[in-house]
């Protein structure tokens, strides 16, 4: 097990951090939130074409970098630290992982290159009903929430069929697809509802669709934990800097014991979250049998830790932390939304207990 990043992985972090600092600072993030798409399409394509970070776990033969989940978690950390609105979790994580896991070579060849290049946006949805009629497969149902479902070009749908479950590729421009952008707590991550009414879709070849879903869920948990760790780090940095300059009753607030202890607790929690994340990302690459428990531990620890950090960050900033002008509340909203994105805390703990045989 390796909990320390290599020199190459640190170089990747530096490149992504510099790129985001130059192209996606806080003011730019707020500007993007007001656009129709809710993210910067030019930046997205540059992330794929110039940085190559959208296809880190895509094989080189399909236009990717052929790297691993540790590298992808490094990128997710930096995106979580900056809150850059993007479909990274939906497209470069969920959709890519489904295509990597199914047995359908043809669909991998069709979709992975444009996903890795940022030319196509994908996402994943669950809960549709699939049936064969009119010479092909048709999907029906209401699917929500779908991460980045409002901007996705293709949705990989896990659906019920007459012979069990299956995975389907759905073109969002197809007849019978209606998309509604949902009003979400976190403005930096769009969610949508998909209403499907006889939408034509293509079934993906796979021997065990449910095993694919389990694997994709575990890998998504690792990527989300990375975002949460990045957000914790940025909250710690922002709050520490504020405590050094904010004066109250003639003293900098960082000199008060209550503030010092709160920041020390935040730092300790962040360091623990980093270790949990590194182990989960390492397991994703090196020990797949260990991944389900490692991913579950990452969810159980990082989700509430990130929310506590964001909440403490707001409190330590005082009244200004609650205002729209300050970034602290953006981190708070992201942390709360991410905490429940893939299930409740009770769900996460029960799953971990089941995996451990408790």
Regarding whether 216 and 184 lie in a shared domain, the answer is no
Last residue of a domain, one of 89, 117, 145: 117
Asked if 170 and 199 count as a contact pair (C-beta separation under 8 A), the reply is yes
Count structural domains, the chain: 3
What residues have CB less than 8 Å from 181, skipping those under 6 apart? 150, 190, 191, 192
User: Could you tell me which of 302, 300, 326, 299 has the C-alpha nearest to residue 313?
Assistant: 326
313 and 268 together in one domain: yes
Percent of the chain with pLDDT over 90: 94
- Going by pLDDT thresholds of 50, 70 and 90, the confidence category of residue 325 is confident
Q: Residue 26: pLDDT band by 50, 70, 90 thresholds? A: confident
CATH code for the domain in which residue 243 is found = 1.20.140.10
Residue-number span of the structural domain to which 107 is assigned: 7-117
Q: Are both 153 and 200 inside the same structural domain? A: yes
Q: In the structure, what pLDDT confidence band is assigned to residue 298 with cuts at 50, 70 and 90?
A: very high
What does each C-alpha distance from 198 to 63, 131, 175 come to in angstroms? Answer: 33, 9, 8
Structure-block tokens of residue 342: 């893939």
Global pTM reads 0.96
Pairwise CA distance, residues 226 & 80, whole Å? 7
Boundary-marking domain end, from 80, 96, 117: 117
Say if 17 falls within a structural domain. yes
Last residue of a domain, one of 172, 192, 208: 208
What does the pLDDT read at residue 179? 97
User: In angstroms, rounded to a whole number, what is the distance separating the alpha carbons of residues 269 and 229?
Assistant: 10
**Both structure tokens of 44:** 């997205």
For residue 157, being part of any structural domain is answered with yes
Residues 216 and 134 in one domain: no
- CATH number, domain containing residue 170: 2.40.110.10
Q: What is the pLDDT of residues 195-248, one digit of tens each?
A: 999 999 999 999 999 999 999 999 999 999 999 999 999 999 999 999 999 999
- Residue 318: inside a domain: yes
Q: Write the pLDDT tens digit of every residue in 133-152.
A: 989 999 999 999 999 999 99
Q: How many CB atoms lie within 10 A of CB 320?
A: 13
What's residue 4's pLDDT?
Answer: 87
Q: What is the mean pLDDT of residues 160-184?
A: 96
End-to-end CA distance of the chain: 24
Q: Which residue is associated with the tokens 């969920």?
A: 94
């Amino acid at each position: 097990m390796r909990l320390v990043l290599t020199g190459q992985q640190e170089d990747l972090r530096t490149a992504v951090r510099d790129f985001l600092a130059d192209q996606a600072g806080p003011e730019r993030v707020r500007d993007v939130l007001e656009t129709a798409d809710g993210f910067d399409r030019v930046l997205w394509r540059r992330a794929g074409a110039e940085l190559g970070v959208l296809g880190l776990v895509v094989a080189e033969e399909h236009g990717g970098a052929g790297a691993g989940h540790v590298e992808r978690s490094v990128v997710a950390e930096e995106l979580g630290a900056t809150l850059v609105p993007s479909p990274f979790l939906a497209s470069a994580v969920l959709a890519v992982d489904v295509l990597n896991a199914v047995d359908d070579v043809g669909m991998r060849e069709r979709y992975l290159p444009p996903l890795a290049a940022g030319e196509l946006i994908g996402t994943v949805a669950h809960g549709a009903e699939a049936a064969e009629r009119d010479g092909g497969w048709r999907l029906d149902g209401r699917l929500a929430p779908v991460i980045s479902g409002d901007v996705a070009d293709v949705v990989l749908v896990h659906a019920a069929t007459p012979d069990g479950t299956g995975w389907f590729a759905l073109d969002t421009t197809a007849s019978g697809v209606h998309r509604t952008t949902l009003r979400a707590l976190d403005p930096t991550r769009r969610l949508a509802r998909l209403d499907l009414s006889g939408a034509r879709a293509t079934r993906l070849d796979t021997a065990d669709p449910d095993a694919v879903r389990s694997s994709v869920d575990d890998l998504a948990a690792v990527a989300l934990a990375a975002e949460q760790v990045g957000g914790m780090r940025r909250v710690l940095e922002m709050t520490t800097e504020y405590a050094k300059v904010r004066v109250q009753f003639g003293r900098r607030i960082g000199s008060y014991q209550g503030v010092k202890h709160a920041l020390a607790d935040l730092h300790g929690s962040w360091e623990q979250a980093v270790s949990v994340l590194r182990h989960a990302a390492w397991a994703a690459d090196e020990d797949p049998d260990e991944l389900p428990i490692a991913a579950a531990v990452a969810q159980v620890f990082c989700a509430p830790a990130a929310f506590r950090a964001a909440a403490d960050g707001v409190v330590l900033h005082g009244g200004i932390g609650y205002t729209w002008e300050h970034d602290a509340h953006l981190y708070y909203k992201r942390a709360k939304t991410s905490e429940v994105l893939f299930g409740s805390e009770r769900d996460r703990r029960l799953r971990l207990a089941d995996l451990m045989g408790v």
